Amino acid sequence: MTAGMRSVAQRQHLASGQDSDVFIRSDGLLVKHTRTGRDLRREAEMMVYLSGHGIPVPRVHDVTGDELVMQYVPGPRMSEEIGRRPWLAGSLGKQLADLHHQLDAVEAPDFLAGDGNLLHLDLHPGNVVLGPEGPVVLDWASATKGDRRLDVALSWVSLAVARLAPVRKLTRWRFLRSFMANVDPKAREAIPEAARIRLERHDRDPLERAALQKLMDPDRH
């Protein structure tokens, strides 16, 4: 750990993800700490690259293999805003589509393996903070190269299969209708592959697994 990271020891736990914990330090910076040994330096490199190309991401302050220190962006997650202000579902869906269009214009960096365009692979409303200066995209751990339509389809799938209370299903439909109306219509062709990726990425509960398996059938689209 660098001297800069040691200088501020006090930290408050904010959240936990699939493979990492997030803390806020007493100086107001955010710390992402991996629990699995994943090297966070590639994610930091990705964020620095994106910031230089105009993509709204948190500013990187410091990084070691297991900790990434970055700017804390105040504001609700887009997923929270959908729940609290459902009348904004349509505009928020378009906002997520606009973020995808911004990624369309960025060439994938050479340090990413593979061929194709830049993919986030986990760009859903829970990974977008509605900050004071606009939406900011979080969690670039899965970034890779490929077909941009697959990235769009993954965004759709992540929300389409989420378990929601009945009262929120209409809000989800409004959000997804607006989202798909503002992206490449051919992204629908990538839904089966997106469902397969989501199914294989982490353990899923039986209901979500069943929903994903249905989406993997191309005859349904």
Report the DSSP beta bridge partners of residue 32. 22, 68
Q: What mean pLDDT comes out for the span 39-44? A: 95
Structure-token pair, residue 52: 């230089």
- 181-210 pLDDT tens trace: 999 999 999 999 999 999 998 777 888 999
Backbone φ, ψ for residue 115 (5° rounding) = -125, 155
CATH classification at residue 207? 1.10.510.10
> Residue 157 contacts by C-beta under 8 Å, 6 or more apart in sequence?
191, 194, 195, 198, 212, 215
Q: Please give the span between the terminal C-alpha atoms of the chain, in angstroms, as a whole number.
A: 49
Same domain? For 158 and 65 the reply is: no
CATH classification at residue 62? 3.30.200.20
Question: Residue 180: which of 89, 117, 55 has the closest Cα?
Answer: 89
Same domain? For 162 and 84 the reply is: yes
Residue 200 belongs to domain spanning: 78-220
Residue 218 pLDDT grade (very low, low, confident, very high; cuts 50, 70, 90) = low
Neighbours of 111 (CB within 10 A): 9
Percent of all residues in the chain with a pLDDT value above 70, rounded to a whole number? 94
Same domain? For 121 and 184 the reply is: yes
Assigned domain for 102 exists: yes
Assigned domain for 2 exists: no
88-97, 119-128, 206-215: the lowest-pLDDT one? 206-215
Assigned domain for 1 exists: no
Q: What angle do CA 95, 177, 220 make, to 5 degrees?
A: 130
What is the count of structural domains for the chain? 2
- The side-by-side arrangement of strands in the sheet containing 60-63 is 11-16, 20-25, 30-34, 67-70, 60-63
What are the start-end ranges of the E strands in 49-197? 60-63, 67-70, 117-119, 128-131, 134-137, 144-146
Same domain? For 66 and 82 the reply is: no
| Biggest CA pair distance of the chain | 57
Structure confidence at residue 3 (pLDDT): 43
Question: In which residue are the tokens 């007493």 written?
Answer: 26
Structure confidence at residue 219 (pLDDT): 66
Same domain? For 106 and 209 the reply is: yes
Question: Residue 93: which of 58, 121, 118, 124 has the closest Cα?
Answer: 124
- 120-172 pLDDT tens trace: 999 999 999 999 999 999 999 999 999 999 999 999 999 999 888 887 999 99
Report the DSSP beta bridge partners of residue 131. 134
CB-CB contact of 11 with 25 (8 Å): yes
Does 13 score more than 80 pLDDT?
Answer: yes
